[in-house]
Amino acid sequence: MTADRSSSSTAAFSRLHDAVRTGDAELVARTIDEVVEPGLIFHAPVPTGVTGVQALKEVWTVLLRAFPDLRVEIEDVIAEGDKVVYRNTVTGTHLGEYRGLAPTGRSVRYGEIFVFRLAGGRIAEIWGVVDVLSQLRQLGAVHA
């Protein structure tokens, strides 16, 4: 079942997505505090070693610092029960340090899929699959 982005099942993610589109890491962090459960279970690998809400905030801080023009375009939204799946295409220009790599000025374009479990209208659990290999190849950090 495909969900309308304005439905209640996608409202929390829509608010977070809107904050990300501003490129303002502080707004993203405040929005996370508003739409994410404090006990968030975050199943995506985070290189910094932090967990939960702090991991999610750290991910966005790192990404927005490295790719200040970062854009997340939603390709598909599927909602069923307490879960919502998003397939996104991410683009940006590498203008800040990222994973130990100095800015290259190169553009990246990669895909990601996230599953969100909601509880009480807030994001309670996240599973993520991000094409980091493609991202790192485009930055010249990994060769084919």
Which residue reads 């690998």 in tokens? 45
* Full set of structural domains in the chain with CATH: 8-138 (3.10.450.50)
pTM here? Answer: 0.87
Q: Are strands 36-42 and 107-119 parallel, antiparallel or unpaired?
A: unpaired
Kindly give the residue spans of alpha helices, DSSP state H, lying in the chain. 11-22, 25-35, 52-66, 132-138
Burial of 49 (0-12, 13-18, 19+ CB in 10 A): exposed
pLDDT at 3: 42
DSSP β-bridge partners for residue 74 = 88
Identify residue 73 by its one-letter amino acid code: E
Q: Tens-digit pLDDT profile for the chain (144 aa)? A: 344 444 667 899 899 999 999 999 999 999 999 999 999 999 877 766 788 899 999 999 999 999 999 999 999 999 999 999 999 999 999 999 998 999 999 999 999 999 999 999 999 999 999 999 999 999 999 887
Distance of alpha carbon 121 from alpha carbon 51, whole angstroms: 21
State residue 44's pLDDT score.
78
